[in-house]
Amino acid sequence: MQAKVRDAETRKPLPFVNVMLQQSGIATVTNADGDFTLKVPKNIALPKISFSCMGYSNLTVDVEQLQQQPVVNLRSSGRSLKEAIVRPTEPIELIKLAFERIPQNYGKSPVAMTSFYREFIKRNSNYVGIAEAVFDIYKASYTTLQSDRVRIYKGRKSVDTDKIDTLVIRYQGGATTMLWLDLVKNRDEGLFNADFLTDYIFSYDGMEMINDRLHYVIGFNQQLFIKDPLYRGRLYIDPHSLAIARVVFNRNVEGRKDVERIFVKQAPRGFKLTPQSVEYVINYREKDQQWYYNYARLEIKAKTNWKKFLFFKPTITIISEMAITDMETENVKPFAQKEAVRKNDIIAEKLSVFTGDRFWENYNYIEPEQSIDKAIQRMNKKLLRKGMQLDTSLQ
């Protein structure tokens, strides 16, 4: 089924709303236009869909009602705190408590997840590459050192060959980056490493509503004496469980010329790339008193300069996002390492050119934004004119 989610007062579409089918692990998120598609199995009696978004009250709607009126209006949750919650006066103490509770709050057993992944590359305002895939994920227990694994189940891509001939952008490691962004699982090598509490300044920024519960908001920015480009952003901590429910942050790259080495692994002679912004969003959700990785988004915007083209200095934008669309917690076993995507793999190179509206069949996906949808249609028409065969199977 398809529907749209809007703000009840302004009637503006709401992006990145969590959409979940109750009595199941099936879920998705709305796109930038507020649209979503959710596949509802026939074996669920009286199915209901719940909607949650930061700053809005949760809403549950019968699927039958949505089919008749495919528009959902969420109301702002501007209510005051009705219960007394004792919090430390220092934000760093809240973070320490949240870290201490990780073994209790997050998955003690491995989980099998299905996810939908999309990445696209834009040169200025033009799309030059779009890739989509369904991933199988083996999510290892948070209490072990075992690594997560991801493999491609099915995928497709569109590429505008005319625009990428002059400057090829190869986005490396998109799938493994999405797993790395589980910051709670990857504390030792991610943002929450051993130096996090000493390398950053913290502030208590009040409370905000997520899933009908007020959450502590902790701001952070790197210490002034730290010269390397670190991060700044906000942590959202559930006051009851002290679980980290959401992290929104970006890298301090503005105005720096020393960050190209972080993002560019290989480039033509004379090519320069200057990142202008690097932004991240990570969400977790609670199920049966345990918290699970739920959604991640990365956006990199950079200015390019290549001596080969004196007057051609486009802005490149790379966006990748992944939403967990299903989850199994019983009898979970890892798939073979040889099936897993490797750190240096380029996802788009492993997929077939695509067309057709029925490609995803019964799998849940993030509805493409109107601009992406139009870009895909345009790219595919161009490929057909050139005589390139469009395939819907995984290579």
Residue 322 bridge partners (DSSP): 117, 296
Rounded distance between C-alpha atoms, residue 366 and residue 36, angstroms = 6
Average pLDDT over residues 131-156: 90
The tally of CA atoms less than 13 A away on the side-chain side of residue 185 is 30
Q: Which two tokens stand for residue 280?
A: 């991240």
Task: Return all residues near 40 (Cβ < 8 A) that are at least 6 apart.
Answer: 1, 21, 26, 47, 63
pLDDT per position as a tens digit, 258-281? 666 666 655 556 667 788 899 999
Task: Return all residues near 125 (Cβ < 8 A) that are at least 6 apart.
Answer: none
- Tally Cβ neighbours within 10 Å of residue 333: 7
Which of 275 and 352 is assigned the larger pLDDT? 275
Kindly list the strands in the beta sheet with 271-287, ordered across the sheet, starting from the edge strand earlier in the chain. Answer: 200-210, 213-222, 231-237, 244-251, 271-287, 290-306, 315-328, 111-123, 126-139, 149-159, 352-353
Among 128-142, 328-342, 375-389, the minimum mean pLDDT is found in 375-389
Average pLDDT over residues 43-62: 89
Q: Which fold has domain 2-74?
A: Immunoglobulin-like (2.60.40)
Rounded distance between C-alpha atoms, residue 254 and residue 236, angstroms = 25
Average pLDDT over residues 269-294: 87
Q: Among residues of the chain, what percentage have pLDDT more than 90?
A: 41
End-to-end Cα spacing for the chain: 29
Band of pLDDT at residue 391, cut at 50, 70 and 90: very low
* 223, 141 Cβ separation under 8 angstroms: no
Q: For residue 311, what pLDDT is reported?
A: 63
Closest CA to 182 of 109, 244, 264: 244
pTM of the entire predicted model: 0.82
CATH 2.60.40.1120 location in the chain = 2-74
Q: Among residues of the chain, what percentage have pLDDT more than 70?
A: 80
Q: Is pLDDT at 89 greater than 80 in this prediction?
A: no
Rounded distance between C-alpha atoms, residue 230 and residue 392, angstroms = 41
Task: Return all residues near 22 (Cβ < 8 A) that are at least 6 apart.
Answer: 47, 48, 49, 50, 60
The residue ranges of DSSP E strands in the chain, in sequence order, are 2-7, 18-21, 27-29, 35-37, 48-52, 59-62, 71-74, 111-123, 126-139, 149-159, 200-210, 213-222, 231-237, 244-251, 271-287, 290-306, 315-328, 352-353
Residue 281 bridge partners (DSSP): 248, 297
Rounded distance between C-alpha atoms, residue 142 and residue 98, angstroms = 14
Band of pLDDT at residue 355, cut at 50, 70 and 90: low
Rounded distance between C-alpha atoms, residue 219 and residue 357, angstroms = 43
Q: For residue 146, what pLDDT is reported?
A: 87
Band of pLDDT at residue 388, cut at 50, 70 and 90: very low
SS3 392: coil
Question: Residue 173 corresponds to which amino acid?
Answer: G
Band of pLDDT at residue 84, cut at 50, 70 and 90: very low
Long-range pairs of 300-304 with CB within 8 A, sequence gap ≥ 24: 300/263, 300/275, 301/275, 301/276, 301/277, 302/263, 302/273, 302/274, 302/275, 302/276, 303/273, 303/274, 303/276, 304/167, 304/271, 304/272, 304/273, 304/274
> In which residue are the tokens 């932004």 written?
279
Among 21-30, 80-89, 171-180, the minimum mean pLDDT is found in 80-89
